[in-house]
Structure 1
């Protein structure tokens, strides 16, 4: 059976980014950021790498201050300073949205597992409210996965553009729409579990969905920051028209 191109894309993103997320430090700090030393490296090369990582971490910390959840933003992006140089706001926005996609994929996988377990327990009996709520939540998170996947593809089209025109602004609007919708869906899942008295499993689902919503909110904020220069340039160009 052949895998769809979109599925392959998602899996590549998942495998590459989840390996980094597993090693994210609880509270990243420039002072504690250690360089990764490999054999046969010269002192100059090691110092250069350390400086590059420090600059990348400083850039991430500065960019995250404009998000709604800055601490989470730094935690979720910090590991990339160890393995990759973030070269600008477009790169950072792409990474942030990819992190959101990975979190949504992980949460959807967990929800599918829980829903299947409940189905096995019920064995054809009338589904209870908990099952229906979790099933609905799974559909919302699945929608978030699809929307974030589309947003990442559209972001690549924005990055390839060199002329700021209506087509470029259309791509930007598409990214904003898809990410905003993904955020709405994840938030809806969180709101499906009101109150504080809930089972451990339900609390876990709510926490995972909340995490998807928060990293997606941060990703949207970072994309807004990236897209602002295009919108400003387009507005300036429109103002010069007779």
Structure 2
């Protein structure tokens, strides 16, 4: 009887240890749910969630539309930086061999350069809202500036995409179009998320009667 009891106890311990080592599926965090819900207001929600979800693991302070817009703009700028570096490399290679595609790539590079500048300005302008606080009509001026610059960045990226029309194109052109299209789509999402923040800010300002 004692041996049987000892045997059953051993089996119980082994089973308990095995169950303890089974990984549990992580619950969807509130931040993840917030990002998914916010991204539904964008034109490319799946891309929006994909770009922003990596931020969940490194920062848990994103709790407002403004903070989410800042992250989205930073994600768009990173894509623009990466694409600009790629276009610069390709342009140098095409120039060296005097390829006919050089001019189109050069034009696209100039547009992405502008896109980088405009996104950088918009991020700096959005950060200025933190320094000045939520008081005064100057806030609306800053918000308008951000909307103008992000819209211009989207126009530049979209114009570059339009420079490579059709489906039957070389592998190089298809690669360029894909990278630039990604910049345009992430910028479109960032603009949508910023519009969401701006609309809420204007509504709140109107409710309190502040200019």
Whether the TM-score (by the shorter chain) exceeds 0.5 is yes
1:82 CA drift (Å): 1.4
Gaps of 5+ in 2: 1-25
Q: Secondary structure at the match of 2:57?
A: helix
1:112 CA drift (Å): 0.5
1:201 corresponds to: 172
1:237 CA drift (Å): 5.1
Residue pair 1:190, 1:210 contacting (<8 A) in 2 also: yes
Whole-angstrom distance in 1 between the partners of 2:105 and 2:133? 44
Residue 213 (structure 1) aligned to one of 184, 197, 200: 184
2:81 corresponds to: 105
1:82 paired to 2:57: yes
1:137 paired to 2:108: yes
RMSD of equivalent CA atoms: 1.9
Whole-angstrom distance in 1 between the partners of 2:134 and 2:153? 28
1:167 paired to 2:115: no
2:23 corresponds to: none
State how 1:48-127 maps to structure 2 within 5 Å: 54-85=29-60, 86-122=62-98
Whole-angstrom distance in 2 between the partners of 1:76 and 1:92? 12
1:230 CA drift (Å): 1.8
Equivalenced residue count is 186
1:108 CA drift (Å): 0.5
- Tell which structure's C-alpha radius of gyration is larger: 2
Whole-angstrom distance in 2 between the partners of 1:83 and 1:179? 25
Q: Which has the higher contact order (CA 8 A, sep 6+)?
A: 2
Gaps of 5+ in 1: 1-49
Residue pair 1:164, 1:234 contacting (<8 A) in 2 also: no
1:119 CA drift (Å): 1.0
